Structure 1
């Protein structure tokens, strides 16, 4: 039996006109719940957000490598496929240049973005140089390539790793995690002249206030891509904008059918 929106946890008023699917492509339910809680703090009154979590046993509990990203994209798209036709927009809740974003754009016409993309473009509009708080060092390297890929290298003050894994954001003592994040944020601002700080992981979303406190008095904006993505996409829906189906994101399904291929 295929998934229905009613099967998912949600935030927002019943009967609202805009439905957004928040896709957490890893298998950690608590991360989805945490993101929904954060989203509720700035949710437009006409919008409901539904939280999807990647299938347990088929997607990893965290996404920290290229292979994690590719496998989580394939398995989440197969599992959540029926949901995309039930919503007006979709957010991919992984802070990376995650392959699922373009897969959704190619397969459907609803507007879609990832939380990294939303955070970077928001920071670009609010300041001159943004800094990125990363988890592990490998993530720092991957995110640097993503900054270049988005054409934003000239607007990035730098990226800095807390040396924590995504899982350690939850399992290590809260005080220790927040201290590491605060110190990295201060370094990006004081030594690398960042005027906006981007939280480089969905698991950091509920830690924004601690970073803001650490930077108090410096006039720095702290940006969480989870809330940015929901608000950007709900705005697109109100404007009647969808993913263009000419060029890069031309429908892929007819081509598969002509080749006799079905892998969904």
Structure 2
């Protein structure tokens, strides 16, 4: 198996551990010893797409909440490569799986999550990022968005070029996170969303579309989306051709990458 933070041309993946063709691939699994393949029947969230057979990963201590799957974290990683050396922000990190992929892409990452106030969570995430050799480029901040986003921007005196919103998924939280982030994004910036299967989360992408940002969605298990402005382009993604994809009604007005 490839070293934790080494880009590899190919790795052995099962047929249901899809990664879009053309993506650079990293495989930091050894840095997450508590990560296991989850049982979707343990998740009661109504917006989990149980009909998509891609592997659903969880932390064995919290088996009810899913990580981004393999394809989704590679959207993060390959997007981060376009912003290497620039400032990035992540709202909501669970156990650090997504943060690790962003940091492996070379960004200087600030992470805001209220669960970082828990010593066991902070230590688990820090240990994983240390094993992946990216801890020095990640600033872990305990706190609730959107308030902590404003506080951190004032404290650090910088804006962010890449923002990933994956915090509280219940309305109005995703919209409020988006509203606070928009003026704190650089002129050339891209904002990513996860779990657009939920119309509550989609309110954030809708807001940016209405504000004139360019938008696109990625057909993944939980549907990701990107909004961007200025001199930047989102990565191109090819949905798994083995799956008969559908788009929820609340996303019908969006273009889908690769389709």
TM bucket normalised to smaller? 0.3 to 0.5
Task: Provide TM-score, normalisation by structure 2.
Answer: 0.37
Select the structure with the greater relative contact order (CA < 8 A; seq sep ≥ 6): 1
Answer with 1 or 2: which has the greater Rg: 1
Q: Looking at secondary structure, tell me which structure has more helix per residue.
A: 1
Higher strand residue share: 2
